[in-house]
Amino acid sequence: MTSALGTATNTEDDLTGALYHQVQSFYAHQMQLLDSGRVDSWAETFTEEGVFETDTTGAVEGRETIRRAAGAAQQALRAKGMRHRHWLGMVDVRVAGADQLEVRSYALVLAIAPGGPATVHVSTTCDDELVREDGRWRVRRRVVHRDDIEAGEG
């Protein structure tokens, strides 16, 4: 099967339950860092030359630039009294090489106002290239596509 990012395929021997669990744990930790406002720690989950790209913001390149952009977004949320929660599911992991994975997931971003209900802020797909550096998984490239934006509209 070809992933959205490239041509990585899985055989029964490629993707073990332990590896899938590592990926799930990586995303749980990464999203909780972001949602708790720990932007510096969240940015460390990207490679030094990492890329974060969305339909609406374009590509942000480099860990420090990603850190600054995420920090500004967190400040804007706090100024509005809002909180976000990221929920990833339907995680499809493809082995792309030694210590390299291609991962596609669906992501919901929930918005929570003080005293208000949680609402779906945005629904997206998330295509990641993960690499293992110093024994840790990191994002080399993340491409987020909003479901409410047609391709090429962003």
Query: pLDDT value at position 41?
Result: 98
Q: Which pLDDT does position 1 carry in this prediction?
A: 34
What are the structure tokens assigned to 17, written together? Answer: 């339950």
CA angle 150/49/140 to nearest 5° reads 55
Beta-sheet strand order (sheet of 136-146): 58-61, 46-54, 136-146, 118-133, 100-112, 83-97
Name all domains of the chain by residue range, CATH numbers in brackets.
Answer: 17-146 (3.10.450.50)
Quick: pLDDT tens for 108-121: 999 999 999 999 99
Phi, psi dihedral angles at 21 (to 5 degrees): -65, -40
Distance from the first to the final alpha carbon of the chain: 28
pLDDT value at 45 more than 90: yes
